């Protein structure tokens, strides 16, 4: 967006004083730049996610209340982020948790907010890597970024066991965000909301620690339950029938599978 006061650089040059001053458009310009820097982080599969496209209309029918909450959040995403309110989704694999979480992250990015998206296994690996000699970031630089973005989206929480040191770093990040009132979005398979277990979040607490889980409750409220069958399996088994031997896709040729249109983007 062009600014009428500066030349678009974010600075105004005062000829007389021969000095540059930051223009009033500079904070918004920086925010947009930061948002653009993380925009590439929505994984390709979820990039087209939107309320108007599948699987959202289907999810809206099967999980009306959850999708209503997500819609409310997205409608006033800046307000929620400013208040440090997050959300978390729990349920078995393939029920749409990551889809909904990505939808929120996308709305935050579109509102020019800074967002960092990691799967927890990947985040823990990056934390561990900071100790390597050829590491690109120091631990403190990484933690600074994780603590300062407007929204931290952690996917697949509880997907792997890890060391106490790494869990301590995760706690530091969650606790700093808690104290600074910055929002977190989480997805996990590890809270059993079916009511079958006396202590639904025991597995999660064992995996990532009591203190971290207790803060997540305060920051994200009650986990939103996503029940149902694994839609990912349905998608896989729903491949088109081969028409004739000559057009049967070669299962060993990856490029043919890349051509498959993703589930998103299909109009309602």
Ligand X SMILES: Nc1ncnc2c1ncn2[C@@H]1O[C@H](COP(=O)(O)OP(=O)(O)OP(=O)(O)O)[C@@H](O)[C@H]1O
Residues that bind ligand X (CB under 6 A): 55, 58-59, 62, 93-99, 156, 187, 189, 226, 231-232, 235, 263
Between residues 142 and 226, which has the closer beta carbon with respect to ligand X?
226
Between residues 55 and 249, which has the closer beta carbon with respect to ligand X?
55
Q: How far is the CB of 66 from Mg ion (least distance, A)?
A: 14
Q: How far is the CB of 81 from Mg ion (least distance, A)?
A: 22
Q: Which of ligand X, Mg ion, none interacts with 93 (beta carbon under 5 to 8 A by kind)? A: ligand X
Assess 98 for contact with Mg ion (CB under 5 A). Answer: yes
Residue 190's Cβ-side half-sphere holds a number of Cα atoms within 13 Å equal to 20
Contacts for 40 with CB less than 8 Å, ≥ 6 apart:
none
Q: How far is the CB of 61 from Mg ion (least distance, A)?
A: 20
103 and 71 in contact (C-beta within 8 Å)?
Answer: no
Q: How far is the CB of 185 from Mg ion (least distance, A)?
A: 12
Strand duo 183-188 + 224-225: pairing: unpaired
Q: Which of Mg ion, ligand X, none interacts with 130 (beta carbon under 5 to 8 A by kind)? A: none
**What's the CA gap between 40 and 38, in Å, rounded?**
5
Assess 189 for contact with Mg ion (CB under 5 A). Answer: no
Strand duo 19-22 + 87-90: pairing: unpaired
Q: Which of ligand X, Mg ion, none interacts with 58 (beta carbon under 5 to 8 A by kind)? A: ligand X
Q: How far is the CB of 189 from Mg ion (least distance, A)?
A: 8
| Part in contact with Mg ion (CB under 5 A); list of ranges 83-91, 98-106, 200-208, 223-231 | 98-106
Contacts for 153 with CB less than 8 Å, ≥ 6 apart:
101, 102, 104, 105, 115, 116, 117, 118, 184, 185, 186
Assess 99 for contact with Mg ion (CB under 5 A). Answer: no
Between residues 62 and 148, which has the closer beta carbon with respect to ligand X?
62
**What's the CA gap between 264 and 256, in Å, rounded?**
18
Q: How far apart are the first and last CA of the chain?
A: 32
CA 263 to chain centre: 19
Q: Footprint of Mg ion on this chain (CB under 5 A)?
A: 98
């Amino acid at each position: 967006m062009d600014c009428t006061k500066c030349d678009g650089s974010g600075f105004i040059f005062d000829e007389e004083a021969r000095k540059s001053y930051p223009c009033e458009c500079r904070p918004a310009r920086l925010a947009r730049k930061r948002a653009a820097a993380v925009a590439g982080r929505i994984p390709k599969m979820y990039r087209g996610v939107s309320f108007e496209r599948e699987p959202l209309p289907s999810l809206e029918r099967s999980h009306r209340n959850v999708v209503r909450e997500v819609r409310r959040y997205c409608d006033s995403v800046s307000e929620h982020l400013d208040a440090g309110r997050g959300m978390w989704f729990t349920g078995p694999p393939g029920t749409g948790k990551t889809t909904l979480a990505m939808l929120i992250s996308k709305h935050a990015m579109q509102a020019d907010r800074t967002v960092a998206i990691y799967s927890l296994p990947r985040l823990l690996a990056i934390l561990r890597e900071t100790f390597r000699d050829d590491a690109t970031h120091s631990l403190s630089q990484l933690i600074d970024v994780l603590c300062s973005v407007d929204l931290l989206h952690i996917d697949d929480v509880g997907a792997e066991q890890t060391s106490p040191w790494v869990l301590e770093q995760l706690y530091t990040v969650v606790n700093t965000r808690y104290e600074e009132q910055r929002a977190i979005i989480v997805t996990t398979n590890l809270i059993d909301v079916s009511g079958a277990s006396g202590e639904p979040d025991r597995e999660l607490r064992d995996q990532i620690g009591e203190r971290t889980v207790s803060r997540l409750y305060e920051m994200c409220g009650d986990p939103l339950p996503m029940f149902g069958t694994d839609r990912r399996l349905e998608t896989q088994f729903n491949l088109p029938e081969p028409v004739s031997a000559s057009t049967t896709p070669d299962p060993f040729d990856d490029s043919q599978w890349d051509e498959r249109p993703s589930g998103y983007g299909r109009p309602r």
